[in-house]
Each structure stands twice: as C-alpha cells, then as structure tokens.
Chains A and B, each alone.
Chain A
Amino acid sequence: MEAQILVNGLLIGGVYGIAALGLGLVWGVMSVVNVSHGDMLIFFAYMTWVMVATQALNPFVSLVLLIPVGFLVGMGLYRFVVRHLVRRSEVELMSLVLFFGLGAIVYGIAAYLWGSDFRSLPIPLPTLRVLGVAVPGTRLAAFLIAGGLVLGLSWFFKKTYWGKAIRAVAQSRNAARALGIDPDQVSAVSFGIALAYAGVAGALIAMISPLSPALGVAYAGRSFAVVVLGGLGNPVGALVAGVVLGLAESFSILWITFSLSPAVAFVLLFLVLILRPQGLFKPLRSR
C-alpha cells in the first residue's frame, strides 16, 4: 500500500512542479505576482480538452501545440499589460491586484465557454505493473515530460545567452541594461516561457484530472507553496518541491487524514516561510 501511495505522490508531484514553474519565473525575474496563474493553467487545460474532444487530436500533440500558443500569449501579455507595471516601485502589489482581476476574467470566460460541469479526457496510455505496483501510463508520461522540460529549462538558464540574460535581469534590471541587455525584451521572453510552460502544465492536468473552472484555485495554492519551497524561479527547485508536495499530500492519508490533504500545501508554505524563507534551493535572482 505504501509503495502505491509513494508512486502516486511522486507522479503527481512532477505535474505540481511544472505547474508552478511559470509562476516562479515571472515572480523571480520581474517581481510580478501572477495570482491568475491557476486560472491560466486551467484555461490551457480546457484548450487541450477542446482539441482532443472536438478535433480528435492526440493529447500529447495538443501539448506540443500549446507551447507556441502559450509563448505568444505570454509575450503579448507582457507587451500590452505587464510592461507598464515592472517599472514601478510597487510592482508586486500592483501586479497582485491586476492579476487578481485578470484571473476573474479568465475564470469567467472558461465558465461561460465550457460551463461548470466537469470535463475529462479518456485515459491515453495504459497502466503498467511494476513489482505489484500500478504505474498509470499517463501519469508516468506526465511526470517524465514535466521532469524533462524542467531540467531542459535549467540547462537553458545556465548555458544559453537568453538564459543568462534572464538571470541577469532577475538580479538587476539596471545592471543588465548597462551590459547591453534589453530588460523589456528579456522580460517578454520570460513571460512567454512562463506561459509556454503553463500551457504544457495545463495539457498534463487535462490528461490526469477532470476539469472545471474552479480547479484553478487548487492549483494556484499548490503553485505558491511549490514556488516558495523550491526558490523563486529555480526550475529544479520547483520540480523537487512539487514532488515533496505530491508525496506529502499522498502520505497525509497515512499520517493524518486525507480530508486534510488540501491544507498540506499551506502547512508547507508556512513552515518554509518561517524556517527558510529563501526556499530550499537558490532563487533565480541569487548570484
């Protein structure tokens, strides 16, 4: 039983990790607190559902399609909305209020378009049995995709010009500008990457969970916990923190009661804020 619960928590944790990545990235790079992140995840999840249910696309193909869609939406959102905020000294407070409203709009559109009834996709992959433990194929694939993309982003930050530029802007916009980096352009790319990852995460959520517009709240709460636990904008930190959260939620059934599993994320959040406010891993903006 414990082995099965371990596998369940591990696999769902990968999805929690990638779901939180976009939130941590824009927070870490430009101090923008996107509280609509959960609603955006679920909107992308619905887009996957639409592509699969109405166009008969394979969900993994829809996942690939959502990467450029998310990137362009993110770039556009930065250019037309966020850019005006990041120059202000009170950017975190302003972004919090703005994205709270944007979240209400995204939620309202999702509820209008798809109603409050739950929608779900058929299970695309069969279940494997390993040493008597069921390993759902779709969840395993979601975990591997999430892990691969998170590690890929970590490599991107360390080894590419754009990755280094993003880290430079996260540390200091002025210093980056002095080095000839355009902070606006880098921030736009960061926002694009953040929503591209949100697109992938949305597709993975659609594959493993029934959808309703209200689901965004649950993922927003988990994402905040993961971001704080893993260090702002640190991809590997997000993945590890996601797995820690997934395991903690799963094992709550043995340690306490499953009824309290939604509170686990917030207990972790409080503990980290009190004991290690910088998170378990180095934030993106650290040197």
Chain B
Amino acid sequence: MKLTRRSPLVILFAFSLLVAACGEAGEQELPDAPTTTGGAATTEAEETATTAEEAMEDLPEEIVIGIPASLTGQYEALGKQGLDGLNMFADWVNNEKGGIDVGGTMLPVRIVFGDDRSDKDTALRLFEKLVNEDGAHFMFASYSSGLTLSQAPLAEQLDVVTMAWGASSDDIWQQGFTRVVGVYTPASQYDHTLLEYVANADPAAETVAIVYKDDPFTVSEAEGAKAKAEELGLEVVFFDKYPVEATDLSPILSQAWGFDPDVVLVSAHFQDGALAAQQMTELGITPMAASFGSGAATTGWWDQLAESAQATFGPAQWEPSQAVDPAAFDADNWVGPQLTPEEFTQQFADEFGYEPDYRGGLVFHAGLALMQAIENAGSLDTETVIEAFKSLDIQSFGGGFALDPATLNQIGHAMVTIQWQDGEKVIVAPEEYANADPIYPANE
C-alpha cells in the first residue's frame, strides 16, 4: 500500500475506532479456560451431586472452588488479594490439614478462577462458566457489593453455595436469596462501634452529621449509622448524599458544618473519603470526631493525606494488629491455623510479597467457614451445606462467624474502629480489640 501524507491520519482514525470498540464491555470475550491452583492436577470437570445421598455415594476426587477474580479493572488490587488469600487457604487445607473431611473422606481443594475485569457482564458469564464448564462445587463471588449482588440470582439459578467474601451491602441479604453466605459485618453496622464509643465516653456529644455517597453500599452504611445514632440518643442534624460522580464535596461539607455537629460521619469509599478529609481540612471543619468509611482503614490513607489524616477514624472489618487471646486457640469452636492476625499477615506477606488488609484475611476466614460447614454437613450437597451454615458458630484469626438463619447475613463478626495517630493506624474500639487510646476530642 502506498503511504500518503494522510496515512498517519487514516491509521490513527482506524486505531481510534478499534480502541473505542474494544472499550465496549458487552463485546469482551471471556478469558481462556480458567487457571487452576491447589489440589490434584485434574483437568476434567466433576459433576456436582444433586442430593446428599448421591454426594455420599459418589464423592468427587476433589472439591472445586471457583472465584471470578478482579485481576484487572477498578478492583484489580483487591481482587488479586482475594485470590491470593483463597489460594493460601487451599494450600493450608491440602498441605497442612490434609483436605476437607466429607463424611470420613478427606478431599483436597482445587481453586478455579478467571479474570472478571471488574466488569459486571464478564463477572456473570465467568461465574456461570466456572460452575457449568469447570465444575465448581462452591463459589466465591466477585469482589464488591455491586458484583456480588449481580451474581446472587445466578447463584440461586445454578444452586451453588456462594461465599460473599468481598461484599457487605445490606441489599444483598434483603432480597430473599438462599445461597449467598455473608462473611463481612453488614455495611449498616460499620459506624456502630464509633458511635457507641462517643455516646459512652462523651456525654457532651449530642449531634451527628452524616454525609454519604449515593451508592448501595454507602447508603446502607449511612442509614445504619443514622438508626444507631438515634438509638443512642444522638441527634442527627444533617443527613444528605452526594452523587457518585462528585469531584468537589466542599458544598455539602460546608452545609453539614453549618449545623455545628459534634461528630461528622462521611460514608464513602477510599477516593471520595480522602477527598472529604482533604476538603474538611481546607475548609477548617473540625468536629470532635470525623470518620470516613472503610477507605480510612486502608494502608494508603496516611500516604495520601498526610497531616489531613491525623485523628481521622474509620471502620475496619479486621486488622492485622487486632489482638487475639491465645486461649481462644483451644476453644471448641476455633477453626483453622492457630495464628494471630499479625502472624497470618506475616505469612501472607512472605508468600505474596505484600501485606494484606482485611480482604486477604477474611477470604481465608471465609474458606475456613465453608470448610467447617462442609465437614458439619458431611456432604457437598448445596441444601445440606446451607443448613449446616445456619448453625455454624466459629472463630478463627479472622474473627467470629455466625449467620442469621433467615437471611444468611453475617451476625457473628465484629467490626473494629481505627484511628490514624501520627502516621500509625491504631485500633481504638471496641475495648477488647483496642491497642491504643483514641485522640478524642480530635479537634483539640
């Protein structure tokens, strides 16, 4: 082909259209056959037993657990952490425990996964593929409340027990699903610990302003905080939301501060939480306590905000520095390796080269709960395992695990409240997990 001076333009235009076309999620191809890790090196899919009786008579050679992992896209780092934690669980089951005991037969675990690209359509197709084509007996949902919620109906249709290891939006457990198992403390309870601390420690604290992002997770968190504040006798003087696309929160923060609240709760993810913290510093908004959602418990919070992060609070599902009484290792309901969260974190870091946060810790914890439910059921049958889950009450280095039998939402896991103090993240509440006194009031 003869190149003319317009050739670069034509090429760029064609390339532009190609890139734009590739950006269409609906046209994406699913990744190749899923990668497998852990367990026996079997390539043939196992058929899922449909009844407890069949399962007893015809057990597979291994238990296949599937996970659509967000290895690219917006949840890339968190999805990888989930997959790493689940692989670590499989290694522990296979190499240290010797498998999962199903009615007296020890079965190894094999993980099958693919990249869901943090995209709903891909995550749905991958979920179905992992169950139908790759023979997953049990599933771990994709990371995030949004993706988990989209997969919940599929879990029902495919009749597969699905561990919601990366989701806490209350919505998921308010729709009557019977196969989705909660692992995290629900979003509606995220701020309870801090509010209880303030109400108990400071009779002078009377008012709360709640500013929240308009998405299902943060709406659940904010509504739960409002209900708890009112239950504790605190007056909610401001309760309003900002759009997901907001790039400037100063108007809503200014308006909230106009009500002179003692406590400001910003129900947010990391990015908008950090923006709120930064703009509160800029605007001189200095309540006695300010909390910024789960993002504030992320390791990068101080790196991002530096001094603006000083004395900020945040709720956390689990912290590596969380104390565990060694006596708990001998408790009847202790499950899994006898490690403190700190020891687990070290092992994880040694294996994968980075320190996990609660995602890495609690995906292993979710694996332990599934393992125990299967062992209690003595079967791989979905209904039998779900029934076993309903009466499960265990603890591990990841904390407690017990479900509301009616909804399968988590009720046994406790949150902690962290605070940043001179660059260090410390646990300040509840008292049994605390490793430092809070800076309170934070504005003095």
Contacts and interface: CB of A to CB of B under 8 A. Distances in A.
Given A104-B16, A104-B20, A117-B77, A209 B247 contact: yes
A180 B414 CA distance: 78
26 contacts: A1-B257, A5-B251, A8-B251, A8-B283, A81-B9, A85-B9, A98-B12, A101-B12, A101-B17, A101-B19, A101-B20, A104-B23, A105-B16, A105-B19, A108-B19, A116-B73, A116-B74, A117-B77, A127-B281, A134-B282, A136-B279, A210-B304, A218-B247, A253-B255, A259-B242, A260-B243
A258 B275 contact: no
B351 interface: no
A50 interface: no
A250 B271 contact: no
Given A1-B258, A134-B284, A258 B76 contact: no
Contacts of B242: 258-259, 261
Contacts of A215: 247
A135 to B, nearest CB: 9
A8 B257 CA distance: 14
Interface in B282-307: 282-284, 304-306
Contacts of B279: 136
Contacts of B305: 122
Interface in A182-220: 208-210, 212, 215, 217-218
Contacts of B246: 258, 261-262
Nearest to B252: A258
A115 interface: yes
B241 A258 contact: yes
B353 interface: no
Contact of B284 (A9, A127, A217): A127
A8 to B, nearest CB: 4
Nearest to A102: B16
A118 B270 CA distance: 8
A173 interface: no
Interface of A: 1, 4-5, 8-9, 12, 80-81, 84-85, 97-98, 100-102, 104-105, 108, 115-118, 120, 122-123, 127, 129, 134, 136, 138-139, 208-210, 212, 215, 217-218, 249-254, 257-262
Contacts of B77: 117
Mostly helix, strand, loop or mixed at chain A's interface? helix
A279 B274 CA distance: 37
A123 B308 contact: yes
B373 to A, nearest CB: 35
Given A102-B16, A134-B282, A249-B248, 7 more contacts: A4-B258, A98-B13, A101-B13, A116-B73, A118-B304, A209-B247, A262-B245
Nearest to B275: A210
Contacts, number: 139
Contact of A100 (B6, B20, B281): B20
Given A136-B282, A210-B271, A259 B243 contact: yes
Contact of A102 (B12, B257, B283): B12
Contacts of A260: 243
Contact of B282 (A100, A120, A123): A123
Mostly helix, strand, loop or mixed at chain B's interface? helix
Contacts of B281: 123, 127
B15 interface: yes
A250 B251 contact: yes
A-B pairs, top 10 by smallest CB distance, nearest first, are A101-B16, A1-B258, A118-B271, A136-B282, A4-B254, A8-B250, A250-B251, A134-B284, A116-B74, A134-B283
Interface centre among A84, A104, A127 (most CB of B within 10 A): A104
Given A1-B255, A123-B308, A249-B251, A258 B243 contact: yes
B196 interface: no
B248 A127 contact: no
A8 B242 CA distance: 16
A81 B6 CA distance: 9
B9 A5 contact: no
B151 interface: no
A253 B20 contact: no
A100 to B, nearest CB: 7
B214 interface: yes
B355 interface: no
Contact of A118 (B251, B254, B274): B274
A249 B270 CA distance: 23
A210 B274 contact: yes
Given A123-B308, A134-B284, A136-B283, A254 B248 contact: no
B16 A100 contact: yes
A137 to B, nearest CB: 8
Contacts of A257: 240-241
A259 B22 CA distance: 31
A4 B19 CA distance: 44
Contacts of A218: 245, 247
Contacts of B17: 97, 101
B345 interface: no
Nearest to A9: B251
A212 B73 CA distance: 12
Contacts of A139: 282
Nearest to B77: A117
A261 B255 CA distance: 14
Nearest to B304: A120
B8 interface: yes
Contacts of A104: 16, 19-20, 23
Contacts of A85: 9
B295 to A, nearest CB: 10
Nearest to A84: B9
A93 to B, nearest CB: 13
A37 to B, nearest CB: 15
